[in-house]
Amino acid sequence: MTSVLYAIPAPLGGPPSEALPASAIERLRGLRDFVAENPKTARAMLSALGMPCALRELRVERLDEHARTSDVPPLLQPLREGRALGLLSEAGCPAIADPGAALVEAAHREGFRVVPLIGPSSILLALMASGLEGQRFAFCGYLPREHRERNRRIREIERRSRRERETQIFIETPYRNDALIAALLETCAPSTRLCLASDLTLPGENIATRQIADWRQTPPRPGKRPTVFLLYSR
**pLDDT tens-digit series, residues 64-120:** 999 999 999 999 999 999 999 999 998 899 999 899 999 999 999 999 999 999 999
The domain of 133 spans 122-232
Are 14 and 86 contained in the same domain? Answer: yes
The pLDDT > 70 percentage for the chain reads 100
Predicted confidence at residue 35, as pLDDT, reads 98
Taking only the tens place, the pLDDT of each residue in 51-74 is: 999 988 999 999 999 999 999 999
CATH number at residue 13: 3.40.1010.10
Is residue 192 located within the same domain as residue 210?
Answer: yes
Three-state helix/strand/coil letters over the chain: CCCEEEEECECCCCCHHHHCCHHHHHHHHCCCEEEECCHHHHHHHHHHCCCCCCHHHCEEEECCCCCCHHHCHHHHHHHHCCCCEEEECCCECCCCCCCCHHHHHHHHHCCCEEEECCCCCHHHHHHHHHCCCCCCEEEEEECCCCHHHHHHHHHHHHHHHHHHCCEEEEECCHHHHHHHHHHHHHHCCCCCEEEEEECCCCCCCEEEEEEHHHHHHCCCCCCCCCEEEEEECC
CA distances to 103, 106, 138, 168 from 75, rounded to whole Å, are 8, 10, 30, 34
pLDDT band at 18 (very low <50, low <70, confident <90, very high): confident
Same domain assignment for residues 12 and 111? yes
User: pLDDT-based confidence at 1, cuts 50/70/90?
Assistant: low
For residue 13, name the pLDDT band (cuts at 50, 70, 90).
confident
Domain count, the chain: 2
Do residues 107 and 40 share a domain? yes
**CATH number reported for the structural domain that contains residue 164 in this entry:** 3.30.950.10
Are 95 and 167 members of one domain? no
Asked whether residue 170 falls in the same domain as residue 143, the answer is yes
Of 66, 88, 116, which one is at a domain's C-terminal end? 116
pTM as predicted = 0.89
Calculate the average pLDDT of the chain.
95
Q: What are the tens digits of pLDDT across the range 187-223?
A: 999 999 999 999 999 999 999 999 999 999 999 999 9
